[in-house]
Amino acid sequence: MTDRYAVIGNPVAHSKSPVIHAEFARQTAQDLTYERILAPLDHFRASVDQFRAEGGKGLNVTAPFKLDAFALSADCSERARSAQAVNTLKFDGSLIYGDNTDGVGLARDLQTNLGVTLGGSHILLMGAGGAAQGVLRPLLEARPARLFIANRTLDKAARLVQRLRDNGESKNVDVQAGSYAQLQGEGFDVVINATAASLDDTVPELPEGVFAAHALAYDMMYGKGMTPFLQLAGTQPGVRVADGLGMLVEQAAESFYLWRGVRPQTFPVIAALRSQ
């Protein structure tokens, strides 16, 4: 019997996940289908239960349900516990297992696809919401010299840093929180936009000197072309820019591996999506 998987969210029609997983299944000769599920905002659990009752094997979870998926998980990975959010559900009998593959997807895109050395680097993470929390653990595991979390609401970033320290996740890394105004002249090697600003075609106010020479500016948003953040970064001498399409494919590959036990090739899928 063909195994069923899906992505669940609201909205979800824009999701490229069905195309990605169809290609992964073709590559690895896996017998599965993958669909989209539009869940009502107040009926996430009911939608998951219905999918499981119909024989579904696993779900990718997108906005705004990642916190709900974490609460629904009977067991979860350490990286999901760290993020306190789940983007991948695996069903094994009555057990619901949750994982968060966003961070490893970002780290692989940065290091493998874009050739960035995270170890010993100085990283600026813009934003302290769910997107930022989902990628913190893998970024810290790469052992940068410094990770600065900037947010418009300073208290939110400070609480996030304190949680990392309390959990022992920030050991061996200089982790700080602060405002955007504090960043003048800091010269970060990697600047990651994890805010929702690109959805509104805006950009947080970044002072002069944020980008080091030959820095990478990375917007976790994809599908919107040159966002205002990437446009701003592109005006800085020597700065490279990248969107989050590679992260999308890499996190999907990690979900696929969790479900099927085989790891697909990501580069051809990224190239095919970019050509579209």
| Those residues with Cβ within 8 angstroms of residue 208's Cβ, 6 or more apart along the chain or in another chain | 184, 185
Asked about 66 being catalytic, the answer comes back as yes
Chain-centre distance for alpha carbon 238 = 26
Active-site residue identified among 16, 57, 66, 156: 66
Nearest to 258 by CA among 70, 69, 105, 55: 105
Q: How many angstroms separate the CA atoms of 235 and 92, rounded? A: 50
Q: How many angstroms separate the CA atoms of 169 and 171, rounded? A: 6
Q: Decide: helix, strand or coil at residue 101.
A: coil
**Per-residue DSSP letter, 73:** -
Note the helical H segments in 109-150: 130-141
- Catalytic residue positions? 66
